[in-house]
Amino acid sequence: MTKTIADKPEAPADEQTPPTPPARGPGIDVTDDKCIATYANFCRVTGTPEELIVDFGLNKNMNPQPSEPIDIAQRIIVNFYTAKRLLGALHMAVQRHESAFGVLETDVQKRVVPQAGSRQA
């Protein structure tokens, strides 16, 4: 005989039952034992009709036209489905950061603060 929810005996009123955690998707176990963390201040996205190629590297010259080549440290290749999920996750993370700390200005010229004591003509 199968029991349904209605067949379950009710818990006594004085018995405390722990709250049920909110429903979430299936848990995904990950391990970062082999992960190597590197810093990147340069990113280039290229691709094919089937996949996106994202290169991360370090630009040692902060000039618009670097005099030295940029060393690419990591290359991640993803399909467009994974790229779209990554886009959503990054968008959400940046929105959270901006709501806590203010809007991130990506135009370097708009972020430049005139030096104190310098005279403008």
8 within some domain: no
67 within some domain: yes
82 within some domain: yes
Q: What is the pLDDT of residues 55-87, one digit of tens each?
A: 999 988 877 677 888 899 999 999 999 999 999
More confident residue, 11 or 18: 18
31 within some domain: no
DSSP letters of the chain?
----GGGSPPPPTTS--PPPPPP---------TT------SEEEEEE-SSEEEEEEEE-S--SSS-SSPPEEEEEEEEEHHHHHHHHHHHHHHHHHHHHHH-PPP--HHHH--PPTTPPP-
20 within some domain: no
Q: What is the mean pLDDT of residues 89-100?
A: 97
Number of domains in the chain: 1
Structural domain for 61, as ranges:
36-102
116 within some domain: no
86 within some domain: yes
